[in-house]
């Protein structure tokens, strides 16, 4: 077994590998860029080596620097994590050549599966179901239309070297096939330096289901059940679960056996994933093989009780698999939510900056520990007070739950999301809460088009259904009452000016453009019980008991005997005196006052925000890579004004109306904050 390994990655996956290495008694070496000098993975590792500047092409993607770091520290093996160099055949070959074990598959396996055209041909030879299509590179858009007609619409036009949704178009007719081929080819050339494009049948109501496989250097390969990854936004996975709520036992077995056949065909050693697209009649077709550890591997670890990182290390060290196919378990149900630094209410734009608060739900499951299951686990590479840089992926944590069955797992996940506090940056937690509450998700009736279908116009606050809106008002009144009780108990108050606790409150829920909602709440103190009160709202009674402190963001307690976790904060964007209450993804901002004060508040005039239509504002924090206009230039509505880059995403800003440029406020290369002015029009 290795004595020391280097982890050629960052963030949560680097921390994940360190956890298993520590359990196995293996020393670890972290590598980091200048942006990550204080990162969690650097602190956790036994040693750390600086690679270079923040951009990954100057640090995490420089193979020479990583190999040099391994040699300098005496690391015998390199674990590449996922992303960066994990599926780079040249890097894998280089490691072997330098006498360093690569904790992943051999270079020939990566090469065979990395090319989508070559991998489809291999899959056909291995008797794996493949989607009807044309597997050779296509030269002209006219030829693309001819092939598409032969296959039958709809078709999918894909870049051979594509990934992550780049270089992919769906065409339903000749015009779309013609245009889609040209744009797909250009995108592929720009993104991957490889403009080869192929066409295949587009499966209607498709589900994305993948099989986890594990092979060793002795010819043994097993499949570790499947993962359902159909909940995707713009081809990026959002929620993953294991097993799938859709496929039958027979389909699972057939998919697993075909995945093993493909792995054996390329002499696969290590953990890998064979992705399938599954139609509504459970017809399944090979999509691609990921020759690395997947982001969503923890859900497989939960249901099988296997540590996949440990298995990868053992295989790389030459060990035989210690179990066969018949020994693979499938216990309970696991779900993973990707917690991303993005603002769901601003069309999921990246959100970077300092993590002012970062508090995870209570964990009962842990990385590298497959003994403690049936609980909650958080995989993350960040800590409170840390910086979320603009240079890397937007995922800051993975929240994993494991339950007896799917319904229990969903309930656990909703509760865990309630207890996940992230402040300073925006996160997609409200969106995850909405997805988990959606009736179609709960019944398992979904496909890869689920988010595009149900959130076609983007995600809004009203898209988060709360089963009891009055509970939020009752909780706000409860917190205000406890605050008044505490204030009333302070000594030294002047007679006649002492704080009155009161029993009747009006909860003024702040709405857009001054459209506030007034809710009456009557509070009865539960005598003899500290931290308890009964609140009456709209004829309903809420008996709330909580011993959380008034300055805690998380309020933990029971309501009518049922446990709950909610988040309550003082001071909001709309009003510094308001309370913000968040539960099950729904958030309200409310002022809690006496009925008389509420009457007077109604008479206050609404102050409209300033008109910002003459300005182009930055919708997200990021790097201003281009300003396409000059002072005095006439600009038409829809014309490109500026380009901002953050977290591997380019965002183009267009003019909302015709106008003449008065002033260019920001300069190319500048780091922008949210709502910073870039251009002003006359």
| HSE-up of residue 69 (Cα within 13 Å, Cβ side) | 26
pLDDT of 163: 63
Residue 528 and residue 580 in one domain: yes
Last residue of one domain, picked from the residues 602, 635, 662: 602
Same domain? 549 vs 636: no
Per-residue pLDDT at 290: 95
Spatial CA neighbour of 520 closest among 604, 593, 600, 468: 593
Instruction: Flag whether pLDDT at 574 surpasses 80.
Output: no
Per-residue pLDDT averaged across 383-390, rounded? 90
- Examine the domain organization and report whether 533 and 582 are in the same domain: yes
The encoded tokens of residue 42 equal 């650097």
86 within domain boundaries:
yes
Same domain? 320 vs 408 = yes
Give me the pLDDT at residue 528, please.
67
Domain annotation covers residue 473: yes
Confidence of residue 605 (pLDDT cuts 50, 70, 90): confident
Question: Starting at the edge strand that comes first in sequence, how are the strands of the sheet with 634-635 ordered?
Answer: 615-617, 677-681, 659-664, 634-635
Task: Report which of residues 255 and 619 the model is more confident about.
Answer: 255
- The answer to whether residue 610 sits within a structural domain is no
Catalytic residue among 228, 288, 342, 589: 288
145 domain-assigned: yes
pLDDT mean over 443-465:
89
Answer yes or no: do 504 and 568 share one domain.
yes
- Cα–Cα distances in Å, from 377 out to 15, 302, 436, 450? 14, 10, 17, 26
Share of the chain above pLDDT 90, in %: 74
Confidence of residue 116 (pLDDT cuts 50, 70, 90): confident
Strand partners, 133: 200
Q: The domain that contains 67 carries what CATH number?
A: 3.40.50.20
- Give the per-residue pLDDT at 201: 87
pLDDT at 443: 96
Distance between CA atoms of residues 387 and 396, nearest Å: 11
Range of the domain at 388: 207-457
Residues 401 and 534 in one domain: no
Q: What is the CATH number of the domain that holds 623?
A: 2.40.50.100
pLDDT for res 167: 75
Q: Is 119 within a domain?
A: no
Round the average pLDDT of the chain to a whole number and report it.
92
How many structural domains comprise the chain?
A: 5
Q: Flag the least confident range among 48-52, 160-164, 414-418.
A: 160-164
Residue 6 predicted with pLDDT over 70: yes
End-to-end CA distance of the chain: 69
Q: Which of 183, 201, 219 is the last residue of a domain?
A: 201
pLDDT of 333 above 90: yes
pLDDT tens track for 343-359: 999 889 888 889 999 99
Q: What is the pLDDT of residue 114?
A: 87
Residue 146, burial from CB neighbour count under 10 angstroms (0-12, 13-18, 19+): middle
Q: pTM for this structure?
A: 0.87
Asked if residue 196 and residue 217 are part of one domain, the reply reads no
**Choice among 303-312, 361-370, 513-522 with the minimum mean pLDDT:** 513-522
Residue 384: what pLDDT? 94
Which residue in 359, 355, 330 sits closest to 341, CA to CA? 355
210 is catalytic: no
Pairing of strands 671-672, 586-593: unpaired
453 near 445, Cβ under 8 Å?
no
Q: Note the pLDDT of residue 317.
A: 98
Instruction: For residue 142, give the CATH number of its domain.
Output: 3.30.1490.20
Q: How far apart are CA 613 and CA 659, in angstroms?
A: 11
- State both tokens at 633: 């230039």
Phi, psi torsion values for 662, nearest 5 degrees:
-90, -40
Phi, psi for 211 (deg, rounded to 5): -110, 125
pLDDT at residue 195 in the model: 84
Q: Do 313 and 450 reside in the same domain of the chain?
A: yes
Is pLDDT of 525 > 80? Answer: no
Task: Tell me: pLDDT of 620 over 70.
Answer: yes
At 500, is the pLDDT very low, low, confident or very high (cuts 50, 70, 90)? Answer: confident
CA dist 397 and 646 (Å) reads 18
pLDDT digits (tens, 9 = 90+) for 161-188: 766 566 788 999 999 999 999 888 888 8
Give dist(CA 479, CA 579) in Å, integer: 9
pLDDT band at 134 (very low <50, low <70, confident <90, very high): confident
- Whether residues 278 and 367 share a domain: the answer is yes
Going by pLDDT thresholds of 50, 70 and 90, the confidence category of residue 12 is very high
pLDDT at residue 421 greater than cutoff 90: yes
Please, are residues 662 and 676 in contact by the beta-carbon 8 Å criterion? no
Q: Give the CA count within 13 Å in the CB-facing half-sphere of 198.
A: 20
Residues 530, 388 share a domain = no
Task: Give yes or no: residues 382 and 286 share one domain.
Answer: yes
Q: Are residues 87 and 232 in the same domain?
A: no
pLDDT > 80? residue 526: no
| CATH number, domain with residue 474 | 3.30.700.30
117 located within any domain: no
Q: For position 436, what pLDDT does the model report? A: 95
**Average pLDDT for residues 242-262, to the nearest whole number?**
97
């Amino acid at each position: 077994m290795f004595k020391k390994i280097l982890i050629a990655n960052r963030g949560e996956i680097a921390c994940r590998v360190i956890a298993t290495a520590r359990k196995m008694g293996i020393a670890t070496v972290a590598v980091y860029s200048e942006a990550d000098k204080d990162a969690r993975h650097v602190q956790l590792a036994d040693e750390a080596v600086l690679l270079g500047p923040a951009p990954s092409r100057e640090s995490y993607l420089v193979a020479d620097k990583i190999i040099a770091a391994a040699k300098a520290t005496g690391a015998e093996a390199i674990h590449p994590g996922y992303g960066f160099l994990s599926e780079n055949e040249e890097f894998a070959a280089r490691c072997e050549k330098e006498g360093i074990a690569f904790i992943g598959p051999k270079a020939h396996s990566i090469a065979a599966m990395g090319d989508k055209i070559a991998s489809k041909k291999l899959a056909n030879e291995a008797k794996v179901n493949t989607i009807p299509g044309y597997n050779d590179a296509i030269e002209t858009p006219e030829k693309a239309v001819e092939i598409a007609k032969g296959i039958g619409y709809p078709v999918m036009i894909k870049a051979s070297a594509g990934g992550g949704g780049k270089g992919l178009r769906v065409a339903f007719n000749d015009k779309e096939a013609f245009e889609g081929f040209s744009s797909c080819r250009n995108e592929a050339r720009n993104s991957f330096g490889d403009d080869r494009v192929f066409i295949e049948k587009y499966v209607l109501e498709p589900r994305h289901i993948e099989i986890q496989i594990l092979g060793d250097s002795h010819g043994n390969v097993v499949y570790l059940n499947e993962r359902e990854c159909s909940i995707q936004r713009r081809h990026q996975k959002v929620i993953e679960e294991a097993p799938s709520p859709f496929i039958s036992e027979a389909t699972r077995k057939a998919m697993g056996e075909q995945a093993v056949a493909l792995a054996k065909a390329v002499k696969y050693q290590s953990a890998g994933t064979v992705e399938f697209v599954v139609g509504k009649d459970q017809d399944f077709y090979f999509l691609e093989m990921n020759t690395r550890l997947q982001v969503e591997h923890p859900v497989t670890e939960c249901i099988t009780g296997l540590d996949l990182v440990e298995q990868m290390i053992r295989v790389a060290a030459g060990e035989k698999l210690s179990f066969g196919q018949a020994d693979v378990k499938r216990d309970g149900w696991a779900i993973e939510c990707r917690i991303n630094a993005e603002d769901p209410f601003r069309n999921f734009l990246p959100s970077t900056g300092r993590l002012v608060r970062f508090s995870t739900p209570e964990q009962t499951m842990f990385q590298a520990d497959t003994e403690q299951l049936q609980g909650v686990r958080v995989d993350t590479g960040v800590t409170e007070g840390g910086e979320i840089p603009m240079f890397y992926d937007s995922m800051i944590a993975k929240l994993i739950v494991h339950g007896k069955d799917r319904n229990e797992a969903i309930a656990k996940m909703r509760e865990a999301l309630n207890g996940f506090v992230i402040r300073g940056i925006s996160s997609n937690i409200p969106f995850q809460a909405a997805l988990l509450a959606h009736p179609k998700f709960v019944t398992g009736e979904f496909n890869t088009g689920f988010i595009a279908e149900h959130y076609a116009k983007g995600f809004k606050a009203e898209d988060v259904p709360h089963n009891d809106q009055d509970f939020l008002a009752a909780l706000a009144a409860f917190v205000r009452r406890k605050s008044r009780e505490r204030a009333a108990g302070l000594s030294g108050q002047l007679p006649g000016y002492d704080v009155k606790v009161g029993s009747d409150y009006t909860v003024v829920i702040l709405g857009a453009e001054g459209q506030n909602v007034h809710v009456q709440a009557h509070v009865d103190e539960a005598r003899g019980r500290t931290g308890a009160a009964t609140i009456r709202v709209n004829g309903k009674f809420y008996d709330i008991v909580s011993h959380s402190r008034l300055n805690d963001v998380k309020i933990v307690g029971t309501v009518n005997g049922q446990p709950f976790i909610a988040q309550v904060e003082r001071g909001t964007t709309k009003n510094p005196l308001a309370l913000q209450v968040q539960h099950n993804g729904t958030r309200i901002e409310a002022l809690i006052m006496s009925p008389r004060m509420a009457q007077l508040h109604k008479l206050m005039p609404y102050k409209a925000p300033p008109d910002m239509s003459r300005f182009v504002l930055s919708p997200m924090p990021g790097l201003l890579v281009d300003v396409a206009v000059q002072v005095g230039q006439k600009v038409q509505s829809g014309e490109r004004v500026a380009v901002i880059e953050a977290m591997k995403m380019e965002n183009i800003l267009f003019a909302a109306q015709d106008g003449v440029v008065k002033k260019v406020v920001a300069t190319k290369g500048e780091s922008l904050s949210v709502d910073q002015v870039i251009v002003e029009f006359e």
